[in-house]
Amino acid sequence: MRNKKTHAVCKALLLTLLVATVFLALQSGNAEAQGPVVSLSSTSLTFAVQSIGTSSTTQTVTLTNTGTGTLSIAAITTGGPFSGDFSLSTTCPSSLAPGANCPITVAFTPGGTGTRNGSLILIDNAAGGSESVPLSGLGAGAFGNFFWPISGTRPVDPGDILRWRR
């Protein structure tokens, strides 16, 4: 009788140990499955009116790896129709440990008048493979920062300016 009781207790302990081991393995697997996760401090950047060919003050986006795996950064670049109007500077390494962060600074130097759009693009090994932050600025022409007060976006045309006779 004692052997049957001991056998039942041992069987229950082994089953409990097996369940605990499987539970811990699943928990560990979930943590590893998360991998790197990108968090960006801004969802978009908008620059003030800027004269053509002059640089704005910079704005910063902070990149943070909030995941459990190392973030591998393949590229940080600009894209979009006026990507050349936006310049980037960063000290981000090619690998970012979990919990680490780094700054990406962006400047706007319009090459023309009107609304200028682009994107800050991050290519990495996080889910989805890339992240994007829309960039926008307004280039002012030869007449400076004169705008119609109603819309706030239409530059003054040369024909709108009064001409004085000599």
Cα angle value 49/51/52 (rounded, 5°): 125
Report the pLDDT value the prediction gives residue 163, as an integer from 0 to 100: 41
CATH number of the domain where residue 107 is located: 2.60.40.10
Give residue 128's domain range. Answer: 38-142
- Nearest alpha-carbon partner for 121 in 1, 36, 31, 40: 40
Residue 23 covered by a domain: no
- Which pair of tokens denotes residue 91? 């000290």
* pLDDT value of residue 33: 59
pLDDT for residue 143: 56
Number of domains in the chain: 1
DSSP 59: E
Tens-of-pLDDT digits for all 166 residues of the chain? 555 554 444 454 333 433 334 333 434 444 445 899 999 999 999 999 999 999 999 999 999 999 999 999 999 999 999 999 999 999 999 999 999 999 999 999 999 999 999 999 999 999 999 999 999 999 998 555 454 434 455 555 554 444 444 4
Question: Tokens 């040369």 belong to which residue?
Answer: 158
Residue 17 domain flag: no
pLDDT at position 122, please?
97
Q: What are phi and psi of 48, to 5 degrees?
A: -70, 175
For strands 59-65 and 95-96, give the pairing: unpaired
